[in-house]
Amino acid sequence: MASDNQRLQTLLDGSLKKSSSFTRTIMPTTMNAEEVVDFINQQVKDGVVATVRSDGSPHTAWNPVAYVEGKLYTYADPQSVCYKNLHRDGRVSFATTSGGKAVYLEGEAKEVGRVCEMVDSLLARILSEVKDWIPKSSFNYASLAECQASIFEMKITKILSYKG
């Protein structure tokens, strides 16, 4: 949707403008909003989500993400440290890099529902854009209809990109 990409482009431009001169020097060529969305949705298996532990220390985990309908999503199993951290303290960072391209973002995550409850709604929309967003090998359930992982929406507050 054009307005979703326009909002993302405004955020990209604003984040770059507010970044340090050093960051702007090492990231002279950036992606536009459409390129960022395509890159994120193609690199779902290569993303690292950083959360905050209860003692304030950082925690990182591999988590697929998807940018759909102007929103960024990830998911986490309730048994995982990532889920516990996101549920307690929504501060989150995400980074992915591949082939001389990179995206880094910061934001706030909130739980929007369990996978099993969203199979025919939000999850269906995500899977229509990002195939195998939840690979069968990544959950310990017989099917998505039984998957107890939660989907989190990440509100982006800062986003930087690079293309070499």
Residue 138: what pLDDT?
62
Global confidence as pTM: 0.92
* Domains of the chain, CATH where assigned: 2-163 (2.30.110.10)
Residue of 123, 57, 53 lying closest to 87 (CA atoms): 53
**Confidence at residue 27, expressed as pLDDT on a 0 to 100 scale:** 87
What percent of the chain is helix, strand and coil (3-state, nearest 5)? 35, 35, 30
Residue 113, Cβ density class (10 Å: 0-12 exposed, 13-18 middle, ≥19 buried): middle
Query: What pLDDT is recorded for position 44?
Result: 63
With a cut of 50, which residues of the chain have pLDDT below it?
none
Per-residue pLDDT, 42:
86
Tokens of 132: 């195998």
